[in-house]
Chains A and B, each alone.
Chain A
Amino acid sequence: MFRNKSGEFSWVDFTIDVLRVLIVLAVVVGAWNTLSSGRISLAQWVNLLAAGLSQGSIYALIALGYTLVYGILLMINFAHGEVFMAGAFSAFFLAEALNRTGFLNEQPLLSILLMFMFAGLISMTVAVLVERIAYRPLRGSPRLVPLITAIGASFFLQYAFRGLYGSNFKAYPQVRALQGAVQIGDISIPVAQIFVFCSALVLMFGLHWLVERTRIGKAMRAVSENKEVARLMGIDIDWVILFTFGVGGFLAGAAGVINGLFRPQGVNFYMGFIPGIKAFTAAVLGGIGNIPGAMLGGLFLGVIEAIGPNLVLAGLGIPGANQLKDVIAFTMLVLVLIFRPQGILGERLSETKA
């Protein structure tokens, strides 16, 4: 302890080690206090877990977009939160229209399926256009350049939506079929959360199948491993990259719908920012570039966010702990970057990939 690799005392290592001990202490003491006080019942913990998993599945779907693009281009697409926002917005308009005709509550499943398709396609289009217009011309330039462009694209999309639809908050109409809760003993879990979690699982399995089993999925993996050899196989790299952006976009659009079903309020031009950053955190947490990592990281972050404040922060006597879930999320990001930069499932990055 307190020594660097060459065995000398180092203040950086010392600080990191002290930090490590303090964090473990805080978590243990906080958790002990909360659990021994018995303030939160088992049923309530299960509720928190379920809410965390639903929120986490939204993060996971968005995180997949970050990780897919990173895997293939080693680039963080910071406009991806806005791709999510575009999907949430478009599904909102469709849901409104369906609600007005009454179709939404007559055929809830079909309506939601339509919303998924519509939002997915819109987000896919946005993601593909951003790649084609903003990123492709910069391919081969230093890595800082597309990063800055991504931030520019992100602002462009935010203010384009603000210009088109104003800055007030909109809310999804209620889907009656998703109201209510499933009762198991004294535990009750909202139907919406179960639905959200299950549809996210279906999408993730779909992605897994696409990447592992299909021709284009294998090509995506080949391109991410070695672009030059992939070209020698006759693979059109530009098309595969575009396709990857499209897939990530579709998942983000679907996440937009899921978000609207889970938490109807809050449709706004700025709504992609926080989930975007959180999903980026989730992707880093799981190991950026790693697909199962993004899924795991998303779910993990959602659960930590839901349980962490109540378990640790409240136990430490911090008031309004539930307001601090963003603190937990971003603390996680910082901690992962300090202690395990390659993420949970990530491999240690070589110089070329770092």
Chain B
Amino acid sequence: MALLEVNDIHTYYGNIHALKGISFEVDSGEIIALIGSNGAGKTTTLRTISGLMSPRAGNIVYAGRDISSTRADLLVLSGISMVPEGRGVFAKLTVEENLDMGAYVRTDGEVADDLDSAFEMFPRLLERRKQLAGTLSGGEQQMLAIARALMSRPRLLLLDEPSMGLAPVLVDVVFEAIQRIASEGVTILLVEQNAHMALQIANRGYVLQSGEVAISDTAANLQRNEVVQKTYLGID
């Protein structure tokens, strides 16, 4: 059984029909990439899964439970964590306080251990532990956002454009981190404009177009797909 099943969801911004019946599924342990151009509905899909928006029709089943209208803050408790578009670090909180907020729902005593592993994964954050997050560079903020999302010990991690605005060398750092997180058993749903990077680490991918799933296939096949090559990978 899939960890996450998205069944024919329709989501609106006011009167704008943003998602027009999107369906896909994510199995436990997979890395799934959602690729597509601006306005295809990638971010809206993540926002709908994470509970920031509700679908007007269709449903979302997570771990066998319908979560279509569950509030975002409650979904964190059941193991869904999201790195929002544009990172969304709390600029006026320190790096460590940001991580504390990531662990807000935790009641066990192992938060300190997880803090250590976050600093081990991103040593840059350790150096800047007491610094306000707003003073970090874009790459450091992205690392912080990912580390923060992990502090809730998610089963499913939603990543919205982690490579956006980063220098190529930092994109590599971030994608290595994503692979490492996946290797530790966290299921990952990755939204990317950088289809090239996304398909390199993903198991499967879905191509979104105007609020619908246009193509779905394994990542390897998508990399070879002519339409994908032409439109999203820039290969003629």
Interface residues, chain A, CB within 8 Å of chain B?
215, 218-219, 221-222, 225-226, 228-237
A218 neighbours in B (Cβ, 8 Å): 93, 97, 100-101
Main secondary structure of the interface of A (DSSP, over half): helix
The interface bits of chain B over 145-164 (1 if a CB of A lies within 8 angstroms of the residue's CB, else 0) are 00011001000000000000
Q: A219 CA to B98 CA in the complex, in Å? A: 10
A225 neighbours in B (Cβ, 8 Å): 90-93
User: Can you list 25 contacts pairing A with B, beta carbon distance less than 8 Å?
Assistant: A215-B104, A218-B93, A218-B100, A219-B104, A221-B92, A221-B97, A222-B90, A222-B93, A225-B90, A225-B91, A231-B51, A231-B52, A231-B72, A231-B73, A232-B73, A232-B82, A232-B149, A233-B76, A233-B101, A233-B148, A234-B74, A234-B76, A234-B152, A236-B73, A237-B73
A233 neighbours in B (Cβ, 8 Å): 73, 76, 101-102, 104-105, 148, 152
The verdict on A235 contacting B101 (CB below 8 Å), with A228-B52, A228-B84, A229-B84 known, is yes
B84 neighbours in A (Cβ, 8 Å): 228-229, 232
Q: A215 CA to B102 CA in the complex, in Å? A: 11
Q: Are A232 and B81 in contact (CB under 8 A)?
A: yes
A231 neighbours in B (Cβ, 8 Å): 51-52, 71-73
Q: Are A226 and B77 in contact (CB under 8 A)?
A: no
Q: A222 CA to B100 CA in the complex, in Å? A: 11
Determine how close the nearest CB of chain B comes to the CB of A237; give it in whole angstroms: 7
Q: Are A229 and B92 in contact (CB under 8 A)?
A: no
Q: A234 CA to B148 CA in the complex, in Å? A: 12
Q: Are A219 and B101 in contact (CB under 8 A)?
A: yes
B81 neighbours in A (Cβ, 8 Å): 232
Q: Are B93 and A235 in contact (CB under 8 A)?
A: no
Q: Is B59 an interface residue (CB 8 A)?
A: no
Determine how close the nearest CB of chain B comes to the CB of A288; give it in whole angstroms: 16
A216 nearest CB neighbor, chain B only: B104
Determine how close the nearest CB of chain A comes to the CB of B60; give it in whole angstroms: 16
A219 neighbours in B (Cβ, 8 Å): 101, 104
B50 nearest CB neighbor, chain A only: A232
A to B contact number (C-beta, < 8 Å)? 63
Q: Are B93 and A229 in contact (CB under 8 A)?
A: no
CB-contact partner of A232 in B52, B91, B93, B100, under 8 A: B52
Q: Is B165 an interface residue (CB 8 A)?
A: no
Q: Are A232 and B97 in contact (CB under 8 A)?
A: no
Q: Which of B42-71 contact A (CB under 8 A)?
A: 50-52, 71
Q: Are B152 and A229 in contact (CB under 8 A)?
A: no
Task: Give me 8 other A-B pairs in contact (C-beta within 8 A), A233-B102, A234-B152 excluded.
Answer: A219-B101, A226-B88, A228-B84, A230-B101, A231-B71, A231-B72, A234-B74, A237-B73
Q: A228 CA to B104 CA in the complex, in Å? A: 15
Determine how close the nearest CB of chain B comes to the CB of A229; give it in whole angstroms: 4
Q: A237 CA to B71 CA in the complex, in Å? A: 11
A232 neighbours in B (Cβ, 8 Å): 50, 52, 72-73, 76, 81-82, 84, 88, 149
Q: A232 CA to B71 CA in the complex, in Å? A: 10
B152 neighbours in A (Cβ, 8 Å): 233-234
Specify which of A218, A228, A230 lies most central, judged by the most chain B CB atoms within 10 Å of its CB: A218
Q: Are B90 and A229 in contact (CB under 8 A)?
A: yes
Q: A235 CA to B72 CA in the complex, in Å? A: 9
Closest 7 CB pairs of A and B: A234-B76, A234-B105, A229-B88, A231-B72, A233-B101, A233-B104, A234-B73
Q: A281 CA to B51 CA in the complex, in Å? A: 40
Q: A232 CA to B53 CA in the complex, in Å? A: 12
Determine how close the nearest CB of chain A comes to the CB of B186; give it in whole angstroms: 16
B76 neighbours in A (Cβ, 8 Å): 232-234
Q: A236 CA to B74 CA in the complex, in Å? A: 8
Q: Are B90 and A235 in contact (CB under 8 A)?
A: no
Q: A221 CA to B73 CA in the complex, in Å? A: 17
B158 nearest CB neighbor, chain A only: A232
Determine how close the nearest CB of chain A comes to the CB of B106; give it in whole angstroms: 9
B105 neighbours in A (Cβ, 8 Å): 233-234
Q: A219 CA to B100 CA in the complex, in Å? A: 9
Q: A220 CA to B186 CA in the complex, in Å? A: 29
Determine how close the nearest CB of chain A comes to the CB of B159; give it in whole angstroms: 12
A228 neighbours in B (Cβ, 8 Å): 52, 84, 88
Q: Are B101 and A222 in contact (CB under 8 A)?
A: yes
Q: A221 CA to B98 CA in the complex, in Å? A: 11
CB-contact partner of B104 in A221, A226, A234, under 8 A: A234
Q: Are A226 and B90 in contact (CB under 8 A)?
A: yes
B151 nearest CB neighbor, chain A only: A233
The interface bits of chain B over 11-45 (1 if a CB of A lies within 8 angstroms of the residue's CB, else 0) are 00000000000000000000000000000000000
B93 neighbours in A (Cβ, 8 Å): 218, 221-222, 225
A226 neighbours in B (Cβ, 8 Å): 88, 90
Q: A231 CA to B101 CA in the complex, in Å? A: 10
